[in-house]
């Protein structure tokens, strides 16, 4: 009985290794498809990475909370993080907008022509 369990355990380990190798090869092939913009040429292949799928699911979840008006500041910050991440994954430029400097009230009023 022990010998049978050892054989099964070894076979399971071998199958796990093979699965890991095949998943790595699959990921490489998907990258080639994406890099060569062939997604539409090959049917039934999902070229969305795990990271991108996580971002999409997170954004959908937050959107449903916003729709139900059950969100808070943390949800908005998380949305911003997910949005920036998914844009980065998709190769969009993520130029940061410089933050405005806080100015003196008198100076700001002068600029606005109120003083």
Domain residue spans of the chain: 1-43, 48-93
Mean pLDDT over each residue of the chain, to the nearest integer: 82
8 A C-beta contact, residue 55 and residue 85: yes
Q: 25: Cβ–Cβ under 8 A, 6 or more apart, which residues?
A: none
pLDDT number for residue 103: 62
Band (pLDDT 50/70/90 cuts) for residue 115 is very low
Mean pLDDT across the stretch 63-67? 91
Residues 72-110 pLDDT 10s: 989 989 999 999 998 888 787 656 545 555 566 676 666
What pTM was computed for the model? 0.49
Model pLDDT, residue 64: 92
């Amino acid at each position: 009985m022990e010998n049978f369990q050892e054989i099964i355990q070894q076979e399971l380990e071998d199958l796990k290794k093979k699965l890991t190798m095949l998943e790595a090869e699959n990921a490489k092939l998907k990258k080639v498809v994406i890099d060569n913009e062939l997604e539409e040429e090959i049917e039934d292949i999902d070229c969305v990475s795990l990271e991108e799928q996580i971002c999409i699911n997170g954004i959908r979840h937050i959107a449903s909370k916003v729709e139900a008006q059950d969100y808070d500041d943390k949800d908005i910050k998380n949305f911003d993080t997910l949005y920036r991440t998914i844009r980065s994954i998709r190769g969009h430029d993520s130029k940061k907008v410089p933050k405005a400097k806080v100015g003196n009230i008198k100076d700001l009023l002068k600029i606005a022509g109120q003083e």
